[in-house]
Amino acid sequence: MEKPVEDFLKIVLAVSRLVDNRTGIDPLLSRSIYDYGVQDPGWNWLEIDRTIERVSNSLPSLPPQRSAFTGDFLEAFRIMVREGMGESVPYQERVQAYLQVSAEPVLQSTIDALRNELQQKLITCGYADELLTAYRQWSQDCKIAPEDLYQAGQEILDLARQRTNELVLADPQEHQIELNFPNNYPYNGYSDYSRGYRGRIFLNGDVQYTLPGLKHLICHEALPGHQLFSALREELYGRGVMPVEGTVYLANTPISAIVEGNCEVGQQMLGMDDTADDEIYDLYNRYASAISTNLAIACNADGMDQETAVHFLMEQVFISNEEAVRRHAFFTNPLWHTSFPHYWFGREMMRSNFARMKEYLPEYYRMVYQEAHTVLTLGERIDQFLELKKIN
């Protein structure tokens, strides 16, 4: 293992420990898959800062792609160091450095356009002119009875696996995915992956699901979403194809928006978005995400109180008080609050990337799943690929 990479991994382990101490959540989401071959050196923030400087200066000794990838992570760690040492770093600055996406509110014109498109689509499908009434009636028509939830979810998962293997990349045959619907769960959905191709999906059992909503969530959490990303990373690393630094999946780093954005586009990648109900849900999901993102910024950057945010969510996104409180708790969580913008900005970025690479999807999937990229390096990789195609 190269010395810069070894020191980089030590930084990762030290940062994950200190962030865990501060937030109560271990941000190193790939810890259950890889041991990284190094030990946590026990560094404090000052020692991490000094090591970041030393490793940054040694990165030119690595191949350019690996150097750029590692360097982008180190820039995010610099902000974590400042925050860890007690500096009050503005929310937008942290989001931009951590995720390499904008932390500016979604334009109101974008939200209005999504709302109007959603309303018109519902009207076209025979629902009322008033959006709240129409959306609630549509949700009632598409709901899944609780006793049918597991079977419906398993059928969606089976179809997603088949289409992932046909249209995206082959999911490792050893990969097992267990579907669970726990009650009193803090998230709407969560993907848990452990070494040896062992996957578990947790979907909130207290939610009233629509069929298109469940389809979207399983594609996001399982295939071709989080589970495929993790399984392919493990397979590639085991074959010596993926460099060790490319296996690091740490919350609040420049890989987050790629992974979450790609998960959000997963249903589209599989062609499982081919009904009017799927289109309605996609419009609603983007509309709700845009509003939630702006509320996250308002709460974390501008001090909006919980009561105001929850009321706004209930009124504008048509959800219950319980769900609005849960969403507010998520986007103000000590760890996830700076991650939350990766849903909206990651989705819109990866929708754009998918559209740009529509004629070259096999190559695109190889970039996303089989290469180590940050937001910046993926953008540069796509630009270079398309420019070469244009020349040729």
Counting as low any pLDDT under 50, the low residues of the chain are none
Q: Strand runs (DSSP E) across the chain, as ranges? A: 176-180, 189-194, 198-203
pTM equals 0.96
Nearest to 77 by CA among 16, 136, 149: 16
Question: Do residues 340 and 293 make contact, with C-beta atoms less than 8 angstroms apart?
Answer: yes
In angstroms, the CA 124 to CA 12 distance is 51
SS3 label, residue 193: strand
CA dihedral 246, 252, 254, 256 (to 10 degrees): 80
pLDDT value of residue 108: 98
Residue in the structure block whose two tokens are 């207290």: 206
DSSP state of 242: S
pLDDT value of residue 1: 87
Residues 354-364 pLDDT 10s: 999 999 999 99
Nearest to 299 by CA among 256, 331, 336: 331
pLDDT value of residue 37: 87
Q: What is the DSSP string of 88-113?
A: ---HHHHHHHHHSS--SPPPHHHHHH
Nearest to 262 by CA among 212, 213, 219: 219
Residue in the structure block whose two tokens are 């991490």: 48
Enumerate residues 6+ apart whose C-beta is below 8 A from 140. none
184 burial via Cβ count (<10 Å: 0-12, 13-18, 19+)? exposed
**CA distances, 20 to each of 16, 38, 74, 170 (Å):** 6, 19, 18, 34
pLDDT value of residue 14: 98
pLDDT value of residue 391: 87
pLDDT value of residue 132: 96
Residues 259-308 pLDDT 10s: 999 999 999 999 999 999 999 999 999 999 999 999 999 999 999 999 99
